[in-house]
Amino acid sequence: MMRTSFWSELVRIGAVVSVALGIGFLITCFVSEEPVAAFRELLTGPFPKISFADGFQVKGMNRFGDWIAESITLVLLGLAIAIVFRARQFSLGADGQLLLGALAAGIVSLFVDASIWIHIPLALVAAMIAGFLWGLIPGLLKAYIGVDEIVSTLMLNVIALQLYQLLLTQWLRDPTAGFVGTENFPVTAVLPVIVPKTRITIALFLALLAVVAIWFLLTRTPLGYEIRIVGANLRFAEYGGINTKWVIAVSMALSGALAGLTGAYLAMGLLKKLTLNLSPGIGFEGIVVALLARNRPFGVLIAGLFYGYLRTGAQIMERSSDVTREVVMVIQAVIILLITAERLFPLFQEWRKRRSDALIVTDLAGGEGA
Amino acid sequence: MSIETVLQSIFTATFLASVIRVSTPIILPAMGGLISELAGVINIALEGIMLASAFFGVIVSALAPGWIPGLPIWAYAGMGAVAGILAGLILAWLIAFFHLELGADIILAALGINILAAGGTVFMMFAITGDKGSTSTLASPALPNVQVPFVNDVPVLGILLNAENFSGYNVMTYAAFILTIVVWIFLYRTPLGTHLRAVGENPDAAASVGINVKRVQYMALLMSGFLAALGGLNLSMGYLTIFQNNMTAGRGFIALAVIYLGNRHPFGTLLAALLFGAATSLGAQLGTLNIPSQLIEMLPPLVTIIALVVYNLRRRARATVNERKFQERAAG
Amino acid sequence: MSLIEMRNITKVYPNGVAANQTVDFSIDRGEIHALVGENGAGKSTLMKILYGLEQPTSGEIYLDEKAVQIDSPHHAIDLGIGMVHQNFMLVPSFTIAQNVVLGREPRSGMSRFVDTQEAIRITESLAANYSLDVDATATVESAPVGMRQRVEILKTLYRGADLLILDEPTAVLTPQETDDLFDAVRRLVDQGKTVIFITHKLIEVKEISQRVTVMRHGKVMGRVRTADVSEEDIARMMVGRDVFLQIDKPPQQRGPALAQIQNLGYVSETGQPMLRNVTLDVYAGEVLGIAGVEGNGQTELAEVLSGLKQATTGNILVEGQSIVAADARGVRRAGVGHIPEDRLTNGVALEADIADNLVVDRYYRPPFTNGGRLSPRRIRTEATALIAEFDIRAAGDDSPLGSLSGGNMQKVIVARELSADPKLLIAAQPTRGVDIGASEFVRGQLVQQRNEGKAVLLISADLAEVMSLSDRIAVMYKGEIVAIFSNSREGGNPALTEQELGLYMLGLKRQETLP
């Protein structure tokens, strides 16, 4: 697979996104009385509206806050996936690692008494350790025994879910709540909001820090170099002296740590407790983000913001129209299919070339005959 | 309830009957996944295909009376089944097309289909019924139960063959077992099945004898879509006559594990699927003993991982043994 | 009567390589015909044309005196031509009978089911007819290599082949299995089949064939009756100096032995001994060339020396330090560089950029990594310097490596390995697939290393290259060193000739004790 130039990549991504949005609009037309209005809400909803009517006013901050809050989740997950995909490992274990991270954070939040300066970092670190270990297991199995990581991570997801639900229902459950969940976390374990009237918490800094950290890891550390080379050509990496087994295991473990951190964010930043259904399947959305970003950290930031925007826009659209937010998932699916179709762009170019060749021929023929 | 009572209740035909019933929506997609895996085109979108077929089965069979009134209920159920199967085939075809023609990675393409199904079903459900959780507002029929005649008075066998209350299992359950045998016959007794296994194991060898590898892989994916679709229909038109958001609950992925646990053979897969089903049923039983069901449900995936580890360790051991054997031969 | 006649066959590939030049080849019905030549002589290409895998640029093919166009292997099969490739095309978990009938399975009666019993019966009757002993119900993966080859032959017979092309069939066989194969071939011919035997093993040519066609550098050098020639005659036709390579070398100033290889043995994963008791010293300031036909253990020698594979027995010392148990990084640390034979697989990462490719052996050390921090800037500085020094034609050090030509890729590899200042440099097929300009450059670099007092181990199937660059030449045959020669013309030594080397390379001669 040749690495095409940056601009042609950008054009390709732009084309794919446009087509996907177009298809999304098309199906919206089928189900909605006012598709244009609905889609406009999708595309513009999350933006705060600035008006000068009664002096400088900014409206819709909470929608904007939702956008950022959603994006944080997607950016963190996207980074988790980007690391393993960079090393060319198909680890699908983000869901399970996320759950165990949330669980670890929840346990620390509920059972440790400390000031906020200690409580929050402790919980976050616990979450990252839990995710790290849960990612290390399939990593070691793959690297040293050769167990395929797709099946092992899917199975570990199931085990993690059962473990999470077990501990939640048997031990951590708040009997006074109307649903299955823990008590609210103490205020020392809740991520503080930084923009009033929104759900934007200090997690924003965490996410940005994570982007920079992963970028730093991949470009400014020897391990990052090893991950990139292992992903580019495993046998070349071995020939050059890199300990590829270790790199494979560590890449999956680091991915787990980030997924665990995401779980902690969901629990401590958004829900402020643990519930039974902690966003199932969101791990796969991380894959979409990473794909669109071509596994580059800053690309993940942008792709995460883009997806967060779409998801929030979809929620806004759902509240104000007759279109449900799942249309975004359809758009996501189209994006994945088109992005991963490697031969689509070359085939398209070939088709264009053939058409222009044919036009030239008919031109000449027409010229001759005339 | 004591341990004895629970143990007693496990070793009864009633328990086995519930295992059979619960395993059906795992057996069917697992057979589909097995076929595609053996052809070298693993299909991890079994989950999404099941969801889609479950949805279209319900919708079409519920709305069909409005389109063509006056037909008996089983006709509408049948139309629903056809719709569900078509949905599964189309999704499977999409994976095949994107992977075999457009060079998409088969894992990623299947992930895309999973997301498409998850989002698309809720999207359409809301558009049609105004409800995002389920189709409870619709009255959708079930596919018929089948009763095996004459055996109801036979102890054990009666329950085993006709389910707990002798009313017979859903037709899909019988289909699951019959199709397991059919799949076995197909894979090991027909030319196409043999070619399919050859394609999966050594595509160069298959191509060198004139087998059209691409065509075989297309067919394998379509077959997996068909079988997974049957599994989905069993969910929404079997004991439940409703479609719920995310009602597959990971069975499509369990089906993948079951294939490897069953050593990639139809009968092994069937047994492994029954094992997972047993874990679910057992979980319910042990709930009365205060043993949480989650512990039981953890066991099959754990067993799967251990099985994979053992398999890989043995493969490596065999290689070193070969090397040592020939070292001795060369030295001597 | 002539069964096959190929007239004036020329095959030129798009990259300009002329694999066959005005080749005339013919074979009579009922003959066992040997087609010999070194690697790259063009014999495989000629047979691929006959089997429909390639189309000739020009020339005609006649079957039973009628002109034919062979468009594809299936067409060739229809015409009764069957080919047994070097890499077996078998499904390991299937039985032998299943493999024989694969693609044309017999059906039972009117049903659509495979008739396994019939398949077994067909296999056993074919096997009995042609005395090709196989166990029809055993799986291929459990069958020994000799039997697997017989399965491939049965496959062609099942499809009605009258002419069988066997491509280097004895490469993977033990001596006993080779004898069995020859018996089988003779019996096939007794039953009216015709066999073309592609090989470079002259002893076998003498034993099995009635006529021989010798090819060299894409042309036919001779077509003779086997009984009329000796092995030396054939060798002389196979190995001749067409290309005159002259490289100026100052007289050698040899130092101590930098690398000592002692009793090195290596058994492959499939259980074949690829290296047997190899003992060599490589001295400072010399180029030691390893001559030999490919497949005689040279690949494995390079892999074991560079730490990519572990030796089964023996020791390797570099400046007295044992590296036989070291991994790739340990071997590099001990001062060994490796220009790999298969550069696309091992030597480069196509998707990474040139700079990253250049530092894979040193990125973790200062100045590239200091205190755990990697400096891309210093990597790029190094890359820019190396690109200039080694004249690598590229758009920039951040271009992806896949955008380079083969010759420039090889320059990247050479730049990396040489700039590590190794004590022992292993160069395996260093100019394969590389254009003239880059080849000259690479050879010049190797000589320069030698002049600077390094030890260079040159492994090459290009005999002219070996002879012009090496101070000493060792010949490998069947995993053993069968001869070591001095290649210097000083001191009144008679010049070593290619023909002489050829005899050792082809297993016709060996030194009783090695100097």
Spatial distance between the Cα atoms of C256 and C261, rounded to a whole number of angstroms: 14
Q: How far is CA B109 from CA A17, A53, A339, B97, B246, in A?
A: 16, 49, 9, 10, 20
Is residue B160 domain-resident? yes
Element (H, E) at C182: helix C175-190
Interchain CB distance below 8 Å, A328 and B119: yes
pLDDT for res A343 = 73
Whether B157 has a pLDDT exceeding 80, the answer reads: no
> Nearest Cα to C151, choosing from C196, C89, C193?
C89
Tokens standing for residue B89? 């085939």
Interchain CB distance below 8 Å, C329 and A232: no
Interchain CB distance below 8 Å, C94 and B189: no
Interchain CB distance below 8 Å, A229 and C360: yes
Is residue B210 domain-resident? yes
Residues of B with CB below 8 A from C269's CB? Answer: 319, 322-323
Write down the domain spans for chain C. 2-238, 252-335+423-515, 348-421
CA distance B152 to chain C (A): 36
Residue in C92, C99, C114 closest to B189 by CB: C114
What is the side-by-side order of every strand in the sheet holding C66-68?
C18-28, C2-12, C58-63, C66-68
> Nearest Cα to A256, choosing from A21, A35, A15, A89?
A89
Nearest residue of B to residue C87, measured between CA atoms: B205
CB atoms closer than 10 angstroms to residue B136:
12
Check if the beta carbon of residue B297 is closer than 8 Å to that of residue B280: yes
pLDDT for res B299 = 85
Answer whether C111 touches B (CB < 8 Å).
no
> Which of the listed CATH numbers 3.40.50.300, 3.10.50.40, 3.40.50.1100, 3.40.50.1980 matches domain C252-335+423-515?
3.40.50.300
Is residue B100 domain-resident? yes
Interchain CB distance below 8 Å, A141 and B101: no
Spatial distance between the Cα atoms of B331 and C271, rounded to a whole number of angstroms: 12
Domain that holds residue B53: 3-248
SS3 C342: coil
**Buried b or exposed e, range A68-85, using 16+ CB within 10 angstroms:** bbbbbbbbbbbbbbbbbb
Q: In Å, how far from its chain's centre is CA C2?
A: 32
Mean pLDDT of chain A: 87
CA distance C307 to chain A (A): 8
Whether B328 has a pLDDT exceeding 60, the answer reads: no
**Predicted confidence (pLDDT) per residue in B158-179, tens digit:** 767 777 677 778 888 999 999 9
More reliable by pLDDT, B309 or A349: B309
Check if the beta carbon of residue A127 is closer than 8 Å to that of residue A313: no
Q: What is the dihedral of CA A316, A318, A324, A330, to 10 degrees?
A: -10
Residues of C with CB below 8 A from A239's CB? Answer: 306, 308, 328, 338, 340, 346-347, 360
**Predicted confidence (pLDDT) per residue in B316-327, tens digit:** 777 666 555 545
SS3 C11: strand
> Nearest Cα to C209, choosing from C261, C158, C166, C161?
C166
Answer whether B21 touches C (CB < 8 Å).
no
pLDDT for res B332 = 40
> Nearest Cα to A76, choosing from A255, A249, A225?
A255
Complete DSSP assignment for C349-374: -TTSBHHHHHTTTTTTSTTTEETTEE
Tokens standing for residue B219? 């067919």
Residues of B with CB below 8 A from A330's CB? Answer: 116, 119-120, 123
Interchain CB distance below 8 Å, C114 and B209: no
Work out the average pLDDT over B220-226: 97
Check if the beta carbon of residue B266 is closer than 8 Å to that of residue B284: no
Interface pTM, i.e. ipTM: 0.84
- Best of A158, A245, A285, A347 to mutate (most B CBs within 10 Å, chain B): A158
pLDDT for res C490 = 58
pLDDT for res A370 = 41
Residues of C with CB below 8 A from A235's CB? Answer: 345-346
Tokens standing for residue C243? 């290309």
Considering the domain delimited by C2-238, tell me its CATH architecture. Answer: 3-Layer(aba) Sandwich (3.40)
Nearest residue of A to residue C328, measured between CA atoms: A241
Residues of B with CB below 8 A from A27's CB? Answer: 123
Element (H, E) at A271: none
Residue in B198, B211, B326 closest to C271 by CB: B326
Q: How confident is the model at residue B216 (pLDDT cuts 50, 70, 90)?
A: very high
Answer whether C376 touches A (CB < 8 Å).
yes
pLDDT for res B324 = 59
Nearest residue of A to residue C357, measured between CA atoms: A229
Q: Which residues in chain A land under pLDDT 50? A: 1-3, 367-370
Q: How confident is the model at residue B118 (pLDDT cuts 50, 70, 90)?
A: very high
What subunits touch chain A, counting only 3 or more CB pairs under 8 A? Answer: B, C
Count of structural domains within chain B:
1
**Predicted confidence (pLDDT) per residue in C336-350, tens digit:** 999 999 888 899 999
Answer whether A220 touches C (CB < 8 Å).
yes
C2-238 and C252-335+423-515 in the same fold:
yes
Is residue B302 domain-resident? no
Spatial distance between the Cα atoms of B263 and B257, rounded to a whole number of angstroms: 10
Answer whether A361 touches C (CB < 8 Å).
no
Tokens standing for residue A205? 């800094």
> Nearest Cα to B231, choosing from B253, B202, B199, B200?
B253
CA distance A92 to chain B (A): 10
Is residue B264 domain-resident? no
Is residue B133 domain-resident? yes
Residues of B with CB below 8 A from A90's CB? Answer: 107
What subunits touch chain B, counting only 3 or more CB pairs under 8 A? Answer: A, C
Interchain CB distance below 8 Å, C102 and B206: yes
> Nearest Cα to A35, choosing from A43, A25, A45?
A25
Spatial distance between the Cα atoms of A134 and A262, rounded to a whole number of angstroms: 14
Is residue B263 domain-resident? no
CA distance C382 to chain A (A): 16
Residue count of chain A: 370
CA distance A58 to chain B (A): 32
Residue in C338, C340, C350 closest to A233 by CB: C350
Whether B304 has a pLDDT exceeding 70, the answer reads: yes
SS (H, E, C) A34-97: CHHHHHHHHHHCCCCEEECCCCCEEECHHHHHHHHHHHHHHHHHHHHHHHHHHCCCCCCCHHHH
Interchain CB distance below 8 Å, C328 and A238: yes
Q: How far is CA C365 from CA A239, B127, C306, in A?
A: 17, 61, 20
Residues of B with CB below 8 A from C278's CB? Answer: none
Beta bridge partners of C109: none
pLDDT for res A324 = 83
Answer whether A343 touches C (CB < 8 Å).
no
Tokens standing for residue C135? 């166990």
Tens digit of each residue's pLDDT, chain C (515 residues): 688 899 999 988 876 777 888 899 999 999 999 999 877 788 888 998 998 888 999 999 999 888 999 988 888 988 999 999 877 889 999 999 999 999 889 988 777 889 999 999 999 999 998 888 899 999 998 888 888 889 999 999 999 999 999 988 887 777 778 888 999 999 999 989 999 999 877 888 888 999 999 998 888 988 999 999 887 788 778 776 544 456 677 877 888 999 999 999 998 876 778 899 999 999 999 999 999 887 889 999 999 999 999 999 999 999 989 999 999 999 999 999 999 998 888 999 998 999 999 999 999 998 999 988 999 999 999 999 999 999 888 888 788 888 888 888 999 999 999 999 999 999 999 988 787 778 888 999 999 999 999 999 999 988 888 888 999 999 999 899 999 988 876 554 566 777 788 888 888 888 887 77
On the CB side of C2, CA atoms within 13 Å amount to 14
Q: What CATH number is attached to the domain comprising B178?
A: 1.10.3470
Spatial distance between the Cα atoms of B28 and B155, rounded to a whole number of angstroms: 28
Spatial distance between the Cα atoms of A286 and A81, rounded to a whole number of angstroms: 6
Please report the residues numbered 290 through 319 in chain C whose beta carbons come closer than 8 angstroms to any beta carbon of chain B.
Answer: 312
SS3 C49: helix
Is residue B118 domain-resident? yes
- Best of B108, B297, B306 to mutate (most A CBs within 10 Å, chain A): B108
